[in-house]
Amino acid sequence: MSTSTIIPAGTTASALREGIASKTATFAVIGQGYVGLPLAVAFAEQGFPVLGVDVSQRTVNNLNAGLSHIKDVASDTVTRLLEDKRYEATTDMARLAEADIISICVPTPLSKTRDPDISFVASATEAVAATLRKGQLIILESTTYPGTTREIILPQLEATGLVAGEDFFLAFSPERIDPGNPTYGITNTPKVVGGLEPTSTALATEFYRQAIEEVFPVSTPEAAEMVKLHENTFRAVNIALANETAMMCDLLGINVREVIDAAQTKPFGFMPFYPGPGIGGHCIPLDPHYLSWKMKTLNYKARFIDLASEINSGMPQYWVDKVWEALNDQEKSVKGADILVIGVAYKPDIDDVRESPALDIIALLQSAGANVSYHDPYVPELRVGSEIMGSVDLTPERVSQADCVVIVTDHKTVNDSAIKQQTHCLVDTRSQA
């Protein structure tokens, strides 16, 4: 799609475009978490005045003191931007009136019935609407179902009497944050943008290009919303295939890692996905359900999504069953067993435990009567149900003391060979051992 929309001089869009080009336009980011803070910092580092908005006073106080709570954003960087007066955090939603561009980066969880919960998006939109003025560009980045930007946000904003595409501008651009990724971050991960109409798309595209190397515009917000859901549904389905392949290989007495490693020698038509304890994080376990829910409203059943969810959500129990088998081989019972879980973050070398399968594994083992402890250098404390657990030191003595060691997350600090030498019972969810 072309972004060569001609914007007449003297229009609200023209003034905003000039502010973007000169980097004088104020950028406000609602939500200073895993998505919002890196986004805010990226534009502040390019010279834009940035306002980080969050409902947590503690988060705001820490940020204004130069303390980052996000591993991918260094506290030194926040301190420098504060000193240069290019970044400031606040809980005052009324200050959104100062912004020329507003990005909404708030959580979009699932309800207990696994339906989309867009209450945070609705609240953020209400705050934007309360101070909406001519010449503002509003961009939703929170992952959601196709139609949210047009069906939920647009009516709230136009209820102010201002008209989208004339008085203000509206777009959707899915976040693509991969916490802990040493190669791809905000600036070198391509950005997809879909505006409500061509001018909104053009303005959002021009804005993102000030800090991001490659921006790819699409025709509508719905297309951009679908992009994110397709990306993560693709991953969820292929992870489910890898997990089911692992179970089949186990029954056949075949090493699944050997099979996948050999398969990926094919230079075309194959992409490796590996089995594990399940799926975690805020994206892959949740995003496909947004699409599945939307399709149900159209009387369509998303069969791949449902099947992938069934397989992936069953992996914690699969590995708990493996613990049972391993202890039985030692003529021991799970009840009363001392079990050490290594790694509780949902992926290696980060501190994020959102939707981590380790939480389910620990809870299932505890419900079976096991005495469970864990080690994770990135997660000093962990809440499982109503219990708060603390990480234990990973010493040879602690490993050898455990009746069974369960490796869930592959942190680089974990010495595989040492653990294998120190324990007589090992269940490694990273491979089909």
Task: Find the CATH number of the domain harbouring 292.
Answer: 1.10.1040.10
Which residues have a catalytic role annotated? 283
What's the whole-number mean pLDDT along residues 200-222? Answer: 98
Q: What is the pLDDT of residue 86?
A: 98
| Same structural domain, 259 and 329 | no
- Per the structure, the complete domain to which residue 298 belongs is given by 229-312
Comparing CA positions, the residue from 418, 414, 302 lying closest to residue 430 is: 414
385 inside domain: yes
Task: Find the CATH number of the domain harbouring 337.
Answer: 3.40.50.720
224 inside domain: no
| Same structural domain, 346 and 422 | yes
433 inside domain: no
| Same structural domain, 206 and 344 | no
| Same structural domain, 306 and 318 | no
Other beta carbons within 10 angstroms of residue 335's beta carbon come to 10
155 inside domain: yes
2 inside domain: no
Task: State pLDDT tens for residues 244-274.
Answer: 999 999 999 999 999 999 999 999 999 999 9
| Same structural domain, 186 and 95 | yes
- Any idea what the Cα angle at residue 418 is, between residues 414 and 424, rounded to 5°? 110
* Token code pair at residue 313: 């959500």
Of 219, 246, 274, which residue constitutes the final position of a domain? 219
| Same structural domain, 353 and 268 | no
Q: Is the pLDDT of residue 433 over 50?
A: no
Q: What is the pLDDT of residue 11?
A: 79
In this structure, what DSSP letter does residue 393 have? Answer: P
Task: Tell me the Cα Rg of the chain.
Answer: 24
Q: What is the pLDDT of residue 179?
A: 87
What stretches of 334-409 adopt beta strand conformation (E)? 338-342, 371-375, 381-384, 387-390, 404-407
103 inside domain: yes
Q: Is the pLDDT of residue 169 over 80?
A: yes
Task: State pLDDT tens for residues 72-103.
Answer: 999 999 999 999 999 999 999 999 999 999 99
| Same structural domain, 94 and 22 | yes
Of 219, 243, 273, which residue constitutes the final position of a domain? 219
What backbone torsions phi and psi does residue 24 show, to the nearest 5 degrees?
-100, -10
| Same structural domain, 267 and 283 | yes
7 inside domain: no
Please state at what angle helix 303-313 crosses helix 315-329, rounded to 10 degrees.
30
Task: State pLDDT tens for residues 312-352.
Answer: 999 999 999 999 999 999 999 999 999 999 999 999 889 99
| Same structural domain, 258 and 281 | yes
Q: What is the pLDDT of residue 4?
A: 60
Is residue 371 within 8 Å of residue 323, measured between CB atoms? no
Q: Give percent of the chain with pLDDT exceeding 90.
A: 85
| Same structural domain, 400 and 334 | yes
Task: State pLDDT tens for residues 207-217.
Answer: 999 999 999 99
Task: State pLDDT tens for residues 295-312.
Answer: 999 999 999 999 999 999
Q: Is the pLDDT of residue 3 over 60?
A: no
3 inside domain: no
Distance of CA 338 to the CA centre of its chain: 33
Q: How many domains does the chain have?
A: 3
| Same structural domain, 307 and 320 | no
pTM: 0.91
Of 192, 219, 246, which residue constitutes the final position of a domain? 219
Task: State pLDDT tens for residues 113-148.
Answer: 778 899 999 999 999 999 999 999 999 999 999 999
| Same structural domain, 279 and 400 | no
